[in-house]
Amino acid sequence: MSDLDDLYREIIVDHSKKPRNFGPLKGATAQAEGYNPLCGDKVAVQLKFENGVVTEVGFQGSGCAISTASASLMTESIKGKTRIEAESLFERFHNLLTGTVHSGESGLGKLDVFSGVQEYPARVKCATLAWHTLRAALQNTTKESSVETPQVSTE
């Protein structure tokens, strides 16, 4: 397992140092902000829907390596997904982190790297913050100018 653990660690380190889709998203149609007071992680997720599909996604914020890597991998995995598919990914990711589903059985591909986090309950919220925030954004698709940003707390 240690080779796999190393690979997982490498992916997390890579995404935390070079987060993908980081920065403000122009023309976002949905957004939400999340905060994990246990660790101090902050994340804002912005989405752009076109014909019911997430065409673009961006995130901003600051936090620990796990929260940043998780947000980065989340943005990669929900591009091209419908709202329902994105919510289903959230469910599966949540199940993986809470140990309901095991690594390799989650159907989550690269997101399996976070399966090891379930051994560190204090870090589970770091890994799920971006996903909780994503879900809030999915439920808060805004119409043009009326941008209301819901605040999410994992507490």
* Contact positions vs Zn ion (CB under 5 A): 39, 41, 64, 67, 126
By beta-carbon proximity to Zn ion, the closer residue of 4 and 39 is 39
By beta-carbon proximity to Zn ion, the closer residue of 30 and 126 is 126
Q: What angle do CA 126, 130, 135 make, to 5 degrees?
A: 130
By beta-carbon proximity to Zn ion, the closer residue of 120 and 139 is 120
Q: How far is the CB of 40 from Zn ion (least distance, A)?
A: 7
Q: How far is the CB of 51 from Zn ion (least distance, A)?
A: 35
Which token pair is 134? 């994503």
Q: How far is the CB of 36 from Zn ion (least distance, A)?
A: 6
Other C-beta atoms lying within 10 Å of the C-beta of residue 120: 11
Q: How far is the CB of 63 from Zn ion (least distance, A)?
A: 5
Q: Is the distance from CB of 98 to CB of 81 less than 8 angstroms?
A: no
By beta-carbon proximity to Zn ion, the closer residue of 100 and 120 is 120
Q: What are 42's strand-pairing partners?
A: 35, 62
Q: Is the distance from CB of 71 to CB of 130 less than 8 angstroms?
A: yes
By beta-carbon proximity to Zn ion, the closer residue of 53 and 64 is 64
Q: Which of 118, 27, 134 is nearest to 72 (CA)?
A: 134
Strands 53-62 and 30-36: unpaired
Q: How far is the CB of 50 from Zn ion (least distance, A)?
A: 32
